[in-house]
Structure 1
Amino acid sequence: MVEVTKEIVAITKASKIIRSESVQTLWSGYGEIRRYFLEGGKYTSVIVKHIQLPDAKHHPKGWNTPLSHQRKLKSYQVERQWYQEYADKTDAYCRVPQSYHAVEAENELLLIMEDLDASGYPFRLHHNEVTLDHAKSCLSWLAHFHAKFMNTNAKGLWEVGTYWHLETRPDEWERMENISLKNAASLIDEKLQNAQYQTIIHGDAKLANFCFAEDGTVAAVDFQYVGQGCGMKDVAYFISSCFEEEKCEKYEEELLQYYFSQLKNALDNTIDFPEVKKEWSEHYRYSWADFYRFLDGWSPGHWKMHEYSKKLTQIVLKELKVK
């Protein structure tokens, strides 16, 4: 069994741990994220993600199959790999927590990380609070992140980033109610996977995974589903997490133009930006349709299955000539 406090003190050189508080429990009872307050040593506080694999799996949506368990196990291994091999390649424009230490035991994984609250990113937003400027700050983060890893081989990460990737979600696909979309699922997936311009995507770039500073700049957390992909998967998913259908429609052009302006500024000049924009602009609606496909099988009636996402999905189905 991993001795959490012993590991924290050893890594941080703290004289003692003053107290700790729960940040959140992990999905499906796989452990907890806690903040530890320290005295002496290098840091005043650290975040500890303690993954403990349960004997009995319970899932809030009823998904407790061996496949979902294996997917979750891999996600934690991917996150460890991300922090060990990739996180230090980011910069101030796509800020992530620093990783201090990782410990793995038989059925446990401990990640000791920088506390972004203490580093000046203490604010979290609910989608009812988010403004256009907030959304643009996050899209700027995504643009710089995608530019930083454009054409990078995502070795050790997910071969196809995102938690809703079709190949890892056969149970949800089986339960789909939208038959046309079900029939088109593999074609949509193929379209996105065959994008000429691939990068490393966050894979779970929802509003809740962004931490805001007083000046509006952001950092991002939770890299369990980071991997190879078209950047539009992150963009579409992020916008879906911020706005209801009316605002998705209203702000679509402004948000996409802003993202692409940031991407253009961040990309290496060896990359043909007009070609990236041309391809990814088309892949935006395919990314929406891909996520809509997942929701249809996972949680029919979800609030994100609104007319805007339905409209983009219908455009995709028409383009693919699927009835």
Structure 2
Amino acid sequence: MAIVRGHLNSSEALPVTPDQVTAEWCSDVLGCVVKDLKVIKTIHGTASKIILELIYADTTGQEFTLPDRVCVKGGFDTNILAMFPGLTTLYRREAEFYYYVAPLITVVRLPRAWYCGSDIANGQGIVVMDDLGSMGCTFGNPLEPWPVARVRAGVEQLAALHAETWAPKTTAGEEKNCFPWLAGGSTFPAMVLTLLEPEPWGRRFAEGERPPSVPDDMQDRERMRAAFQKLWAGSDPRYHCLVHGDAHLANTYITAEGEPGFLDWQGLAVGSAFDDVPYFIVGALTVADRREHEVGLVEHYLSTLAALGGPRFARGEVWDEYRKHAMHGFMWALTDPRMQPNDVVFAMVERYTAAMVDHGTLALLEA
């Protein structure tokens, strides 16, 4: 996957509001004169996505056929940035993923990125990529669990990512740092610890906002904080690779041919492969389907990982690691009510807390 243009840590400020994404700016980052553009829609969420239709002056001599529609993704919602200023780190991380990693992972299904940028002035990160919606793709919805066959295909995509980035070792057996720009580590722990503070915890667990499926023993804020900290402190380097970090259904798409892929690489980090595997499997299936097919899906992940050049593990070797990392999904029970609608939060929390109970996750972490 080739990147046409990109500039990280630029001294020139990138756009921070939708009106700053102009034809002139698009011309600059795409390297071809855009004489006009039309904003199809703007979608605000954790990150903002601006869908543009572009009209070019002349594409003669261009190496690639430039897209008629693009998605410009970054931090364009001043209100959400005022509430959560640390989100700029996530926007930069996604730009870094498409700049550094996407050209290297040949098996992972990704939209084409046309420009990746970040700046020093605002901490902004922007990716200009294909508009998948105009290419016949649909997007995953947490309220619509997937059939087992599609989850199996999604597991194969995670195995491809992990196999192609599994942490290599030096001749002395020490883990190499092949991704120095990820030296800051995962953004996930800091975000979770913030959500575990009394005020945000109080908003989520207030009457009418508390997810109804959270068992009584998971409503102890200090206990859940300690469990997360134990999970992070015990990360086993044998399983380290690049992880997506937030591999749930809302961060997926399905091609016109029915093949799944992952989007929203803002949580990218070096970490345990099992940050991704149970988080995806548990969140993508109904509780009943997960209970029936989970073991087979984990075994399929492991066999695909080995077939694509990653290490070979038996399920028995990794099963406790899988059970521990079911904890990852409890993040949904902490989600600020302003970030996700309650029907989505409640559906996801039901799946993750059921898995934590089934796997004895808390007891395993506290042992």
TM-score in terms of structure 2 length: 0.71
How big is each residue's C-alpha offset from its partner over 1:25-64, in whole Å with a ceiling of 9 and x where there is no partner?
132xx6x311222234322222212424737856xxxxx4
User: Aligned partners of 2:322 and 2:89: how far apart in 1?
Assistant: 27
User: Aligned partners of 2:185 and 2:151: how far apart in 1?
Assistant: 25
Identity of aligned residues (%): 17
Distance 1:298 1:112, change over 3 A: closer
Aligned residues of 1:97 and 1:115 also touching (Cα < 8 A)? yes
Name structure 1 gaps, 5 residues minimum.
59-63
Name structure 2 gaps, 5 residues minimum.
1-12, 60-65, 169-176, 202-218, 338-344
Aligned residues of 1:201 and 1:229 also touching (Cα < 8 A)? yes
Q: Give, as a single letter, the amino acid of the residue that structure 2 aligns with 1:198.
A: H
Residue of structure 2 equivalent to 1:238: 280
Kindly indicate whether residue 262 of structure 2 is the aligned counterpart of residue 220 of structure 1: yes
Aligned residues of 1:90 and 1:96 also touching (Cα < 8 A)? no
- Following superposition, the deviation at residue 230 of structure 1 comes to 1.0
Aligned residues of 1:82 and 1:157 also touching (Cα < 8 A)? no
Three-state SS of the structure 2 residue aligned to 1:284 is helix
Distance 1:285 1:23, change over 3 A: farther
Q: Give, as a single letter, the amino acid of the residue that structure 1 aligns with 2:355.
A: S
Three-state SS of the structure 2 residue aligned to 1:83 is helix
- Following superposition, the deviation at residue 110 of structure 1 comes to 5.6
RMSD of aligned alpha carbons:
3.1
- Following superposition, the deviation at residue 305 of structure 1 comes to 3.4
- Following superposition, the deviation at residue 129 of structure 1 comes to 5.4
User: Aligned partners of 2:241 and 2:183: how far apart in 1?
Assistant: 12
Residue of structure 1 equivalent to 2:78: 54
Q: Give, as a single letter, the amino acid of the residue that structure 2 aligns with 1:9.
A: S
User: Aligned partners of 2:156 and 2:264: how far apart in 1?
Assistant: 18
Three-state SS of the structure 1 residue aligned to 2:245 is coil
TM-score in terms of structure 1 length: 0.79
Residue of structure 2 equivalent to 1:13: 32
User: Aligned partners of 2:362 and 2:120: how far apart in 1?
Assistant: 47
Aligned residues of 2:141 and 2:250 also touching (Cα < 8 A)? yes
Kindly indicate whether residue 318 of structure 2 is the aligned counterpart of residue 274 of structure 1: no
Number of equivalent positions: 301
User: Aligned partners of 2:132 and 2:355: how far apart in 1?
Assistant: 34
Distance 1:255 1:159, change over 3 A: farther
Indicate which of 92, 98, 116 corresponds to 1:83. Answer: 98
Residue of structure 2 equivalent to 1:25: 44
User: Aligned partners of 2:156 and 2:244: how far apart in 1?
Assistant: 13
Aligned residues of 1:160 and 1:227 also touching (Cα < 8 A)? yes
How big is each residue's C-alpha offset from its partner over 1:244-273, in whole Å with a ceiling of 9 and x where there is no partner?
3222212211221222222121125xx4x1
Kindly indicate whether residue 238 of structure 2 is the aligned counterpart of residue 196 of structure 1: yes
Aligned residues of 2:52 and 2:69 also touching (Cα < 8 A)? yes
Distance 1:204 1:290, change over 3 A: closer
- Following superposition, the deviation at residue 115 of structure 1 comes to 0.8
